[in-house]
């Protein structure tokens, strides 16, 4: 329960601090000139969002934890907070757009596109082989499962609790037995695609201090790749452990460390990547008459990027932490199929 509570607190803290962790030239998904990142109304809008988010989290915490302090309440509370944060973000996205228009932030400024072709080459430092090794492990686990299929129990677990104990089973079948390796391979392929795609994503830098912005972009892409690699190895370790101890060599009890380690890596890695990215941001307002070219019309709600004329598959999120798909690229929908493999598998075996 302590681990769940810690996770809840960290998620809540990240959501409250979100306006101060994102790129300074992006205000709730709306581009603002570098000259106005310290504008009084911009700072006030960020502060108001954080206070509102804090209030919503307090209300949700009281409703879910005080009146029903159970493990299930944690997942319901996190879901409620995430939904509330999306709704609140969209509301403030609209307010940010109105603020930019009312204050005429772009009046008298020259919008230019600044890029650096060396960013992609400088970001590509992680050997692809490191992402292929977990796939080899997964294939080996699948082969072992095939060899030991006759000795696999008649009931196969498909869901586990936070303590590593199975809490849902299905009848034995090839689809159920190969479910974890299939899901694992799909996740590993996804991690590789994200890593390669993020390194090759479109580069658009601030019109002022472009060299500093390029250096930050390289560091951000490298950090994102390292996190994807570590997460791929952590997930492979946990899934392999489950497949081996539940099916290949069934055991009566299971260690909790793979689950705890995975949760620590996900939370710790996300926190590290968020703080590391935020620390690289400049907080100094520009004084020139040039600013970066806006592309707000390609962002729906400040979240979804749709640009059929942009060949890039991945693009940096408007929160500046992590990557999102270009839904104007047909390959984005093929990638979504990989993402939904776990859901498809669950629907087929149940």
Residues 193 and 210 in one domain: yes
Last residue of a domain, one of 89, 108, 127: 108
Q: Do 190 and 275 belong to one domain? A: yes
At residue 49, the 3 state secondary structure works out as helix
Q: How far apart (Å, rounded) are the C-alpha atoms in residues 31 and 69?
A: 42
179 and 288, same structural domain? yes
In contact, 47 and 26? CB cutoff 8 Å: no
Express as a percent the part of the chain with pLDDT over 70.
85
Q: Which domain holds residue 335?
A: 113-350
The count of structural domains within the chain is 2
**Are 58 and 100 in a shared domain?**
yes
Return phi, psi of residue 247, to 5°: -120, -55
pLDDT at 54: 94
* Among 108, 128, 157, residue at a domain's last position: 108
Q: For the chain, where are the alpha helices, taking DSSP H only?
A: 2-16, 18-21, 40-61, 71-103, 118-123, 129-147, 174-177, 179-199, 210-243, 257-279, 331-339, 341-349
What's the pLDDT score for residue 271? 77
215 & 87 share domain: no
3-class SS at 291? strand
Give how far Cα 18 sits from Cα of 4, 73, 155, 226, Å: 21, 24, 44, 22
Last residue of some domain: 108, 124, 147?
108
pLDDT at 94: 93
Residue the block writes with tokens 């890029």: 115
Q: Which of 93, 5, 10, 99 is nearest to 49 (CA)?
A: 93
CA dist 248 → 63, 104, 178, 327, 336 (Å): 43, 65, 11, 41, 31
What is the C-alpha separation between 29 and 296, in angstroms, rounded? 8
- At residue 291, the pLDDT reads 80
Place of tokens 């974890």: 180
Q: What is the pLDDT of residue 17?
A: 86
- pLDDT attached to residue 254: 66
Residue indicated by tokens 């009890």? 253
pLDDT of residue 282: 60
Cβ 88 vs Cβ 53: under 8 Å: yes
CB 156 within 8 A of CB 177: yes
What are the CA-CA distances from residue 95 to residues 15, 30, 52, 291 (Å)?
Answer: 18, 9, 14, 21
What is the value of pTM for the model shown? 0.77
| d(C-alpha 264, C-alpha 26), whole Å | 30
Q: Residue 307 is encoded by which pair of tokens?
A: 């640009």
Claim to verify: residue 91 and residue 196 sit in the same structural domain:
no
Domain co-membership, 100 together with 134:
no
Residues of the chain with pLDDT under 70: 1-4, 65-72, 116-117, 161-164, 207-210, 252-255, 278-287, 320-321, 342-350
């Amino acid at each position: 329960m302590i681990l769940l509570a810690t996770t809840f607190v960290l998620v809540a803290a990240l959501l409250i601090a979100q306006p101060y962790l994102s790129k300074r030239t992006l205000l709730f998904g709306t581009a603002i000139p570098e000259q106005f990142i310290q504008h009084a109304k911009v700072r006030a809008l960020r502060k108001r969002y954080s206070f509102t988010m804090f209030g919503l989290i307090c209300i949700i915490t009281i409703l879910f934890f005080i009146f029903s302090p159970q493990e299930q309440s944690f997942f319901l509370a996190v879901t409620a907070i995430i939904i509330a944060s999306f709704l609140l973000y969209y509301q403030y996205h609209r307010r940010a757009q109105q603020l930019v228009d009312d204050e005429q932030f772009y009046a008298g400024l020259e919008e230019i596109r600044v890029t650096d072709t060396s960013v992609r080459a400088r970001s590509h430092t992680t050997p692809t082989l490191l992402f292929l090794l977990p796939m080899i492990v997964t294939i080996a686990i699948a082969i072992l499962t095939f060899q030991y299929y006759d000795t696999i129990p008649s009931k196969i677990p498909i869901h586990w609790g936070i303590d590593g104990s199975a809490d849902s089973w299905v009848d034995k079948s090839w689809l159920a037995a190969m479910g974890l390796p299939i899901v694992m391979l799909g996740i590993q392929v996804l991690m590789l695609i994200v890593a390669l795609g993020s390194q090759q994503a479109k580069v658009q830098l601030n019109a002022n201090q472009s060299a500093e912005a390029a250096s930050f972009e390289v560091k951000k892409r490298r950090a994102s790749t390292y996190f994807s690699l570590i997460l791929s190895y952590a997930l492979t370790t946990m899934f392999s452990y489950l497949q081996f101890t539940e099916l290949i060599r069934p055991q009566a009890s299971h260690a909790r460390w793979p689950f705890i380690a995975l949760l620590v890596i996900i939370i710790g890695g996300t926190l590290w990547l968020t703080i590391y990215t935020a620390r690289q941001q400049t907080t100094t307002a520009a004084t020139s008459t040039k600013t970066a070219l806006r592309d707000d019309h390609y962002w729906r709600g400040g979240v979804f990027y749709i640009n059929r004329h942009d060949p890039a598959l991945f693009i940096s999120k408007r929160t500046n932490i992590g990557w999102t798909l270009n839904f104007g690229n047909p390959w984005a929908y093929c990638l979504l199929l990989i993402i939904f493999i776990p859901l498809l598998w669950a629907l087929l075996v149940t």
